[in-house]
Chains A and B, each alone.
Chain A
Amino acid sequence: MDIVIVITLAVMSVSLCLAFIRLVLGPSLPDRVVALELFSTLIVGIIGVVAIMTDVASFIDVTIVMALMAFLAAIGFARFLERGGPRDD
């Protein structure tokens, strides 16, 4: 079980790195927003795995808050883009 958790965390860390590359490269601001949303989804998964690893059930509450924050951030970025604020890709 421990080795499975280590493999899972390693794969998710690699995924975070790949998403980060897109966040740095991303030619336009919407691409970066997509990468950030993938980031938050990955972090929700990582917190779930950490909850299994440490056997602490309270981490599930953290995942709920994280998912909520990610949704609000996505909506906020989209409003900002559509209103046409100043941007510097």
Chain B
Amino acid sequence: MIDVVKSLFLLSGAGFMLMAAVGVLRMPDLLTRMHATTKAATLGVALIMVAVSLHFAEVAVVARAFGVIVFLLMTAPVAAHVIGRAGYFVGSKLWSGTVKDELRPNYDPLTHELKSGLETEANATRETRDTDTP
């Protein structure tokens, strides 16, 4: 019985990983590729770690396996955010079918400044003060 459950977890985990790999190969630009890999691969690893903890069924192994799952769930979004941000700043092209790019009107790639869209004449200019270090 437990073998059947374990096999199901293993096969579905491998299936999600295959989906992530197909996504990273087939998707058209950087952000959609990250959309495929970050979520599907993390879910695949989580399913396989559940299978591992079912296989060993010891407290120490189960704790470590769930530690891996929690660690991946915490770090995968952070890594994806950082890489996506760097990719946008580096200037990787977006897909031609992209519907909305909210950064484009507000972000200035030359000065690396981002406007909020709520600026008035008064707060748009930034004046140096005495407390600023030169």
- Residues on A lying within 8 angstroms of B by beta carbon are 1, 4-5, 7-8, 11-12, 14-19, 21-22, 28-31, 33-35, 37-38, 41-42, 44-45, 48-49, 51-52, 57, 60-61, 63-64, 67-68, 70-71, 74-75, 77-79, 81-82
Residues facing A in B62-78 (CB within 8 A) are: 64-65, 67-68, 71-72, 75-76, 78
A19 to B23, CA, bound (A): 9
- Which residues of chain A are near B34, meaning CB under 8 Å? 34
Q: Are B11 and A7 in contact (CB under 8 A)?
A: yes
Whether B7 contacts A49 by the Cβ 8 Å rule is no
Describe A's contact surface by its main secondary structure.
helix
Interface pair A8/B10, CB less than 8 Å apart: yes
Which of A41, A48, A82 interacts with B86 by CB under 8 Å?
A: A82
Q: Among residues 44 to 103 in chain B, which have CB atoms less than 8 Å away from a CB atom of chain A? A: 44-45, 48-49, 51-52, 55-56, 58, 60-61, 64-65, 67-68, 71-72, 75-76, 78-79, 82-83, 85-87, 89-90, 92
- Shortest CB–CB separation between residue B61 and chain A, in angstroms? 5
Residues on B with C-beta less than 8 A from A15 are 14, 17-18, 20-21
Query: In the complex, are the beta carbons of A38 and B20 less than 8 A apart?
Result: yes
Q: How far is the CB of A78 from chain B (nearest CB, A)?
A: 4
Q: State the main secondary structure of chain B at its contact with A.
A: helix
Asked if residues A8 and B24 are in contact (CB atoms below 8 Å), the reply is: no
A81 to chain B, nearest CB (A): 4
Cβ < 8 Å to A, chain B residues 1-30: 3, 6-7, 10-11, 13-15, 17-18, 20-22, 24-25, 30
